[in-house]
């Protein structure tokens, strides 16, 4: 039979004083350490051109949208989030969407729509926040999706830079 010899505890050890001191030391050291907690939403997440937020439709300075209602983004969308109905227009682009909806509850922010678009008409914005009081309100129509080109410019420049890099590397 093995006999375990127990250390005789002092009075202070019996009232957990060393353990309390150790705990207080850790607490005090953490009180003055740098904080990593973000005070969201007062302190929003930082974004830049690489941020893949919610997709938006680019609006030209003359208030027209670039979309020709080709449906490529709708076909590329893995989440079936995009619904487009096109119609003919007198504008030189000949077709434009009559209805262009994105169900933001379905959207997984993958960016496939941006990649599929041949007309530089849809871009991933830096808008990340999504909240409303009903599911229907989170199906965004054309008016909710429109953003001036200037608001998407950083992303547009970034996508162009990436595409140029692919073209350069595929031609060498
Ligand atoms: S980002 Fe992806 S999931 Fe969202 S609408 Fe575009 S293709 Fe669909
Ligand atoms: S791929 Fe571009 S042009 Fe075609 S429907 Fe989508 S947004 Fe419009």
* Ligand 2 pocket mutation pick from 60, 69, 159 by most atoms within 8 angstroms of CB: 69
- Sequence-distant (≥ 6) Cβ neighbours of residue 100 within 8 angstroms: 57, 67, 69, 82, 83, 84, 141, 142, 145
Q: Is residue 26 part of a domain?
A: no
- pLDDT tens readout for residues 90-135: 988 889 999 999 999 999 999 999 999 999 999 999 999 999 999 9
Q: Is residue 12 part of a domain?
A: no
Q: What is the CATH number of the domain that holds 123?
A: 3.30.70.3270
Going by alpha carbons, the residue nearest to atom 2 of ligand 2 is 117
Sheet holding 139-140, edge to edge: 82-88, 95-103, 139-140
Q: Is residue 171 part of a domain?
A: no
Looking from the CA of residue 86, the nearest atom of ligand 2 is 5
- Total domains in the chain come to 1
Q: Is residue 115 part of a domain?
A: yes
List the one residue out of 48, 44, 95 whose CA is nearest residue 67: 95
Structural domain including 104 reads 55-166
- Sequence-distant (≥ 6) Cβ neighbours of residue 50 within 8 angstroms: 158
101 vs 170, which has greater pLDDT? 101
Q: Is residue 2 part of a domain?
A: no
Q: Is residue 31 part of a domain?
A: no
Q: Is residue 76 part of a domain?
A: yes
List the one residue out of 33, 69, 52, 165 whose CA is nearest residue 114: 52
Q: Is residue 32 part of a domain?
A: no
Claim: this prediction has a pTM higher than 0.75: yes
């Amino acid at each position: 039979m093995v006999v375990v010899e127990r250390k005789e505890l002092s009075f202070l050890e019996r009232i957990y004083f060393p353990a309390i001191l150790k705990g207080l030391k850790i607490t005090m050291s953490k009180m003055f350490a740098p904080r990593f907690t973000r005070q969201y939403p007062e302190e929003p997440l930082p974004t830049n051109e690489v941020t893949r937020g919610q997709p938006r439709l680019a609006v030209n300075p003359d208030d027209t949208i670039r979309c020709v209602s080709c449906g490529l983004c709708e076909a590329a969308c893995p989440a079936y989030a995009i619904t487009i109905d096109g119609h003919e227009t007198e504008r030189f682009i000949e077709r434009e969407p009559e209805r262009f909806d994105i169900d933001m509850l379905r959207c997984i922010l993958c960016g496939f729509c941006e990649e599929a678009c041949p007309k530089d008409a849809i871009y991933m914005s830096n808008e990340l926040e999504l909240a409303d009081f009903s599911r229907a309100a989170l199906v965004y129509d054309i008016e909710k999706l429109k953003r001036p080109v200037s608001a998407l410019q950083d992303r547009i420049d970034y996508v162009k830079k990436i595409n140029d890099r692919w073209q350069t590397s595929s031609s060498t």
